[in-house]
Structure 1
């Protein structure tokens, strides 16, 4: 064997020494894609699609129950909606991180390649700047959930052989994202043509500008507790640039998979199937009671109870015969709660209306007109911008209600219904600022139903609504409200020095440590 191997090595050496300068060219795959011949537009489209898919682990199963949009009776370790009881689940806690940095369909790597390939190419200027804006979509969610994360050195494994990226501080990340939004949005130019690869606005530069400044507004408001002066400055820049003006400006991605034929490719079905099965999480009593007590017209489209959960035909959407599930109970302890009916099983509680939300071609919301108007109302009360806080509040509530029709054409709330709601539930006014902040941000929480990442971030930022924490056995927070998720378990091994530096800087890697902007 050794002799044979020696002969093969010798022959190989002779062949290599006898090759001329064309050796490298001869060993190139003529069918392989190259950076020079590959359009970054394809990468941009894929990045939009993959980064917008429903993240069932972090967004649905953790943050939606964290903010008490959903609840479950399943016990710790045997269910998907981990956030209901503040317990740790490896897959769920790591989900957004792993999906973000997945080299094949995580979104961030594809987007980084699109940015680099379109750089310094005037004909691709709009695509380049749209990709820079989209990068903020990806990373602001990531840093909001974990705190310090890889950012400036992320996705450099191939280009710079950097497999151990540093964790940038959340402050540095936010400052850079705001600057990127300002520069990229300002450089969008309608005269340079649209971007046909854009699956959100079809390359409409005017809408992208509104989106960029609306996202800037969201990031600016995040800094309200930790750096109010910085927050104010960026809010003013966003408003001056021009934010969303109607529900038609909403930024969302609609998945093109109505039949489910491409589920393995799009991977957006995990979200849909998680909320459309026989035993998904149920609607939390917290949001159900908030909406029912106010005769909210959204409720009849949002929730349903099924006499036979396996049959869609048994659906009843009348809120009068429904109830939400209280958070923090299991199949045994729920029997001590006044809401429990011993003659029925757990399906006595309402779930989501599957015909509206559980659709393979449904939208994944990122930021909406209703949210923007509510943020502007708060900014007016804080004295950061001028305007009519009550009018903005009403626009925000109306926009959130109109948004349901984006999920399904049947979910139309009329102007008469909206006006009746606003009359019965008037704006509290600006005399008591704290009450106004509570009302505005509680409506924001309702507006973000099915967008758990954003709802959770704003609850931590604003402090509203005032949710009663859960103290389930073996929870991760000692019965206090969770402030973040844990880093992936392999980070202390694969990227030890940078992980340890982040933990030393930020605090213990657990659910109780606050991220930078979540100042106590």
Structure 2
């Protein structure tokens, strides 16, 4: 058997640890040799690495949303995701590196026998730890549903009982995730949890409660067009419970300056020694047309001292076209999981849909949050807002375009807004892979490995969603 020994984020042991994927051969009579805190630490870094990486092998949403463009090998810019088995890697990153580790952490928490000095405080600590672990599971499952649609859920993470798990209905999974998040928020109370082993909030349960309510808000907004009543009640519950109110509430991983713990952006753009990415023309042109001050943060000037993007799907030389901004070349740039800017945009959408607050004010707050996040001067932010006021007559365009402008470094978040609000209007390149059907993808296809290993359940899931295609809409993508 291969044991899983997981060390600190700040040690080389982390990269040398074995993946829980090896547990397929695990001896059930041998103890799982680590602590819940260590497993949570590993899962948190794994989740942040996946969400934040620009690796074409795993996370191509910056390309899909036409922020970035590849320089030489342009398969993924043309929506050819099969060549690198991208879906297989997304599946493994989330199910194995994150969810399976979190499931193991739950088991370790449940099985833990407190020392004499901990007996009086353990019930509260245990309750908080389980709630925190489950909130991270809810977040990860939502990402998977938003990527694929129907996925293994009720039988997932139970290898012995269900080696070939069924795929659950995505809308049903969402209802379950909403209830789980509500229960987790209610379970969180003042007291200890994981301490320093929690890289996101250092065990601060008040911050985790805000995260939980913000996650509820995200879940509710996602289904606004597919289940309006559940969406509205979920959003109201989240707002009443208390969501993020400033950047100080951000859920993020504090990457470090040394290998192997630097941001995956730095890994791809600097440490790799490669020049694989440049600016994409659609977004650069949008920023220039709207005199957006964030352009100087998102991109660098090219050799002619201008901001220039390459056409989507076409190769291009570095320095002829703009490089990605300096922030992405900082090894310790934080890895975002969920931040205040994202929450502010959900609140703006809630205001537009249901009048939860004044829509124009909520819109301005969201845009300002993004400007603050990227260090834009107040005068420049004010001038931008004055030139781009809220349009109540087409609020989806107002919020959708500003979300595109804001989430340059949060590709999947941007992709979700795009699919839900139908803005910005993006066109697929003429060179796009045939599988894209001439359109920008609205989902990822299931892993090829699932077709060969879990074929019967894959076939049923594919039929249930209307076909395993890049053009098949997720259940909440109604328009």
Query: Aligned runs of 1:335-346 on 2, under 5 Å?
Result: 345=317
Preserved CA contact (<8 Å) 2:129 2:193: no
- Give, in angstroms, the shift of residue 426 of structure 1: 2.3
Preserved CA contact (<8 Å) 1:58 1:96: no
Preserved CA contact (<8 Å) 1:90 1:488: no
Q: Distance in 2 between matches of 1:259 and 1:50?
A: 17
Q: Distance in 1 between matches of 2:87 and 2:41?
A: 27
Unaligned 5+ segments in structure 1 are 1-28, 308-315, 332-344, 405-411
- Which secondary structure does the structure 1 equivalent of 2:436 belong to? coil
Q: Which residue does 1:130 correspond to in 2?
A: 132
Q: Which residue does 2:86 correspond to in 1?
A: 92
- Give, in angstroms, the shift of residue 213 of structure 1: 0.9
Query: Aligned runs of 1:133-172 on 2, under 5 Å?
Result: 133-157=135-159, 160-172=160-172
CA deviation digits over 1:181-225, x for unaligned, max 9? 100011100145663321111111111111111111111111122
Query: Aligned runs of 1:377-392 on 2, under 5 Å?
Result: 377-383=348-354, 385-392=355-362
Query: Scaled by the length of structure 1, what TM-score is found?
Result: 0.78
CA deviation digits over 1:33-52, x for unaligned, max 9? 835x8431111111111111
Preserved CA contact (<8 Å) 1:68 1:84: no
Q: Distance in 2 between matches of 1:83 and 1:168?
A: 31
Q: Which residue does 2:463 correspond to in 1?
A: 504
Preserved CA contact (<8 Å) 2:200 2:251: yes
- Give, in angstroms, the shift of residue 109 of structure 1: 0.9
Q: Which residue does 1:6 correspond to in 2?
A: none
- Give, in angstroms, the shift of residue 328 of structure 1: 2.9
Paired residue for 1:478, among 431, 437, 452? 437
Paired residue for 1:118, among 106, 109, 112? 109
Shift of the 51–92 alpha-carbon distance from structure 1 to 2, 3 Å rule, reads same
Shift of the 156–60 alpha-carbon distance from structure 1 to 2, 3 Å rule, reads closer
- Give, in angstroms, the shift of residue 324 of structure 1: 1.7
Query: Aligned runs of 1:451-466 on 2, under 5 Å?
Result: 451-466=410-425
Q: Distance in 2 between matches of 1:259 and 1:195?
A: 23
Q: Distance in 2 between matches of 1:506 and 1:444?
A: 27
Shift of the 132–220 alpha-carbon distance from structure 1 to 2, 3 Å rule, reads same
Question: May I ask how many residue pairs the two structures share in their alignment?
Answer: 437
- Give, in angstroms, the shift of residue 119 of structure 1: 3.6
- Which secondary structure does the structure 2 equivalent of 1:459 belong to? helix
Q: Distance in 2 between matches of 1:297 and 1:189?
A: 42
Preserved CA contact (<8 Å) 2:54 2:62: no
**Residue 324 of structure 1 pairs with residue 323 of structure 2:** no
**Residue 519 of structure 1 pairs with residue 478 of structure 2:** yes
CA deviation digits over 1:102-139, x for unaligned, max 9? 3xxx1111101112222486232111100000001211
Shift of the 346–204 alpha-carbon distance from structure 1 to 2, 3 Å rule, reads closer
- Which secondary structure does the structure 2 equivalent of 1:68 belong to? coil
- Give, in angstroms, the shift of residue 164 of structure 1: 0.9
Q: Distance in 2 between matches of 1:275 and 1:475?
A: 29
Unaligned 5+ segments in structure 2 are 1-26, 112-121
Shift of the 60–303 alpha-carbon distance from structure 1 to 2, 3 Å rule, reads farther
Shift of the 220–306 alpha-carbon distance from structure 1 to 2, 3 Å rule, reads same
Q: Distance in 2 between matches of 1:34 and 1:513?
A: 44
Shift of the 164–381 alpha-carbon distance from structure 1 to 2, 3 Å rule, reads same
Q: Distance in 1 between matches of 2:30 and 2:333?
A: 32
**Residue 427 of structure 1 pairs with residue 390 of structure 2:** yes
- Give, in angstroms, the shift of residue 63 of structure 1: 1.6
Q: Distance in 2 between matches of 1:72 and 1:250?
A: 30
CA RMSD, aligned part only?
2.5
Q: Distance in 1 between matches of 2:58 and 2:254?
A: 17
Q: Distance in 1 between matches of 2:293 and 2:58?
A: 24
Paired residue for 1:50, among 40, 46, 50? 46
- Give, in angstroms, the shift of residue 58 of structure 1: 6.3
Query: Scaled by the length of structure 2, what TM-score is found?
Result: 0.84
Q: Distance in 2 between matches of 1:420 and 1:60?
A: 38
Shift of the 388–48 alpha-carbon distance from structure 1 to 2, 3 Å rule, reads same
Preserved CA contact (<8 Å) 1:221 1:375: yes
Q: Distance in 1 between matches of 2:110 and 2:243?
A: 26
Paired residue for 1:71, among 69, 90, 93? 69
Shift of the 167–87 alpha-carbon distance from structure 1 to 2, 3 Å rule, reads closer
CA deviation digits over 1:433-489, x for unaligned, max 9? xx2221112111222112211111221111111112323154312212312111111
